[in-house]
A and B are shown apart, each in its own frame.
Chain A
Amino acid sequence: MVGGGHVVTAQPFRSLIARDVRLAIRVGGGALVGTLFFLAVIVTVPFGIGPDLNLLSRIGPAIMWIAALLATLIGLERLFQSDKDDGALDLLRLTDAPVSVFVIAKVIAHWLGASLPLVIATPLLSLLLALEPRAILALTATLAVGTPALSFLGAVGAALAVTLRRGALLMAVIILPFSIPVLIFGVAATRAAIVEPDPFWPPFALLVATSLIYAVVGTLGAAATIKINDG
Chain B
Amino acid sequence: MVWTETVVELGGLALARGGRALAADLDLTAQGGDAVVLVGPNGSGKTSLLRVLAGLAEPASGDLRVAVAGAEADTPRSALVHLAGHQDGLKAALTVRQNLIFWQSYYGYEDGLPVEDALARLGVGHVMDLPAAVLSQGQKRRVALARLLVAPRPVWLLDEPTAALDVASTERFIILVEDHRRKGGIVIAATHMPLGLADLITLDLASFPPDGADGLSAPMDEESYWLAGATS
Interface residues of A (CB under 8 A from B): 1-9, 11-12, 15-16, 19, 22-23, 26, 28-29, 86-88, 90-96, 230-231
Instruction: Establish whether residues A3 and B78, one from each chain, have CB atoms under 8 Å apart when the complex forms.
Output: no
The distance in angstroms between the C-alpha atoms of A88 and B76, with both chains bound, is 19
Instruction: Establish whether residues A5 and B109, one from each chain, have CB atoms under 8 Å apart when the complex forms.
Output: yes
With a cutoff of 8 Å between Cβ atoms, the chain A residues found around residue B202 in the complex are: none
Question: What DSSP secondary structure best describes chain B's contact surface?
Answer: loop
Known: A93-B56, A95-B107. A3 touches B68 (CB 8 A): yes
Contact of A94 among B1, B79, B88 (CB under 8 A): B79
With a cutoff of 8 Å between Cβ atoms, the chain A residues found around residue B70 in the complex are: 1-4
Instruction: Establish whether residues A87 and B102, one from each chain, have CB atoms under 8 Å apart when the complex forms.
Output: no
With a cutoff of 8 Å between Cβ atoms, the chain B residues found around residue A95 in the complex are: 78-79, 106-108
Instruction: Establish whether residues B79 and A3, one from each chain, have CB atoms under 8 Å apart when the complex forms.
Output: no
> Can you list 21 A-B contacts (CB < 8 A)?
A2-B153, A2-B154, A3-B152, A5-B152, A11-B105, A11-B110, A19-B102, A23-B91, A29-B93, A86-B87, A86-B92, A87-B86, A87-B87, A91-B83, A91-B103, A91-B147, A93-B55, A95-B106, A96-B78, A230-B51, A231-B56
Q: How many residues of B contact A (CB 8 A)?
A: 47
The distance in angstroms between the C-alpha atoms of A62 and B98, with both chains bound, is 41
Interface residues of B (CB under 8 A from A): 1-3, 51, 54-58, 68-72, 75-76, 78-83, 85-94, 98, 102-103, 105-112, 147, 152-154
Instruction: Establish whether residues B87 and A15, one from each chain, have CB atoms under 8 Å apart when the complex forms.
Output: no
Instruction: Establish whether residues B87 and A230, one from each chain, have CB atoms under 8 Å apart when the complex forms.
Output: no
Cβ-closest chain A residue relative to B86: A87
Question: What DSSP secondary structure best describes chain A's contact surface?
Answer: loop
Tell me how far the C-beta of A95 lies from the nearest C-beta in chain B, rounded to whole angstroms.
Answer: 6
